Each structure stands twice: as C-alpha cells, then as structure tokens.
C-alpha cells in the first residue's frame, strides 16, 4: 500500500489529536461543462470525506444537464445518486470562499477567475469522457475509467484536506 487513503476500508480523515477540524474545509471542482468530470469529483469527495468538508462543482460553460453516463457510473460503481444535480456556472459562486479549487481540464484552468481569499489551486488534467464515441460501448467505458481515476485522486486528496485545516 502506497497511501493510507487508498485502503478500501479507509475512514474519513481526522485532524491531528483525534478531533474533527474546527471549521469546514471547502473545495470547488471546476470543468468546462460541469456535466461529467466535476460532478463526479464533487460526488466522490462528498461521499468519502468527513462531515467537515463542503464540496461544490461548477463550469465555465455549463451544459443544460449532467451527462446520463456520469449519473449511471456513480450509481452503479459507488452507490451515489446525483439524479437531482444540475450544472451551475462559475458566476453563481461569486463571493463564496473556498480553501481549494481543483480544475479538471485545461480550458477550465484558463477560465477560472481569481476567487476571494486566494484558495490553493490544483490542476488535474482529465480528458472529457463525453467526447468519446459511444460505438461499441466505448463512451460508457470512458466514464468508468474517468470515475476510477478521479476516485483515486480524491482518496489522495483526503489527507491533504485535513492538513489544510487550521
């Protein structure tokens, strides 16, 4: 095992000394359409994180709805239901404070504005699974691969969020 957060039975992180953080850590995931990568990341971090973490996602050019394969892969592989989630524009978060902003594509990194309190920025360059042709089921397989990749990254992020807390 290379990282404690990757254990199947890994528990949400606890701050040093065995206590929960005194304030909530806040994370914003950003991709272009807010219909695939960022909703998957938001759902997985919310699913795996301690109650002291708030998670939001947004897009620089949001699509009208979350991609059905994003909804499907989260339900089938992780038991997470995001059927009621709707894409949101970055502008709707103006003035909100985040501790960490994670961009999931190069276009989003370029379009992401400066946010209040200068949050820590991280970039995960993840290909858009919605651009893969659905011929022979390749489209859904791309969503499965992306969800696995994002889940691994989220598990690595969990201990870092604990360290970010004051």
Looking at 25, 31, 102, 146, which residue is catalytic? 31
Q: Which residue has the tokens 């190069």?
A: 106
Query: What's the CA gap between 147 and 104, in Å, rounded?
Result: 12
Which token pair is 43?
Answer: 């759902």
Look up residue 65 and give its DSSP letter: S
E strand or H helix at 152, and its extent? helix 138-164
Looking at 112, 130, 154, 158, which residue is catalytic? 112
Look up residue 114 and give its DSSP letter: P
The answer to whether residue 112 is catalytic is yes
Looking at 58, 105, 154, 157, which residue is catalytic? 105
- The alpha carbons of the chain give a radius of gyration, in whole angstroms, of 16
**Residue positions annotated with a catalytic role:** 31, 105, 112
């Amino acid at each position: 095992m290379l990282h404690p957060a990757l254990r199947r039975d890994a528990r949400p992180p606890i701050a040093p000394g065995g206590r929960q953080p005194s304030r909530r850590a806040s994370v914003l995931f950003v991709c272009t359409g807010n219909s695939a990568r960022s909703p998957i990341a938001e759902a997985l971090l919310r699913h795996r994180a301690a109650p002291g973490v708030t998670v939001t996602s947004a897009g620089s050019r949001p699509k009208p709805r979350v991609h059905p394969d994003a909804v499907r892969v989260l339900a089938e592989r992780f038991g997470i239901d995001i059927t009621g989630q709707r894409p949101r524009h970055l502008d709707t978060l103006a003035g909100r404070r985040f501790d960490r902003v994670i961009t999931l594509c190069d276009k989003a990194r370029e379009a992401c504005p400066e946010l209040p309190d200068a949050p820590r920025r991280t970039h995960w360059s993840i290909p858009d699974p919605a651009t893969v042709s659905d011929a022979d089921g390749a489209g859904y397989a791309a969503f499965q691969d992306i969800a696995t990749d994002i889940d691994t990254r989220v598990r690595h992020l969990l201990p870092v969020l604990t360290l970010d807390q004051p």
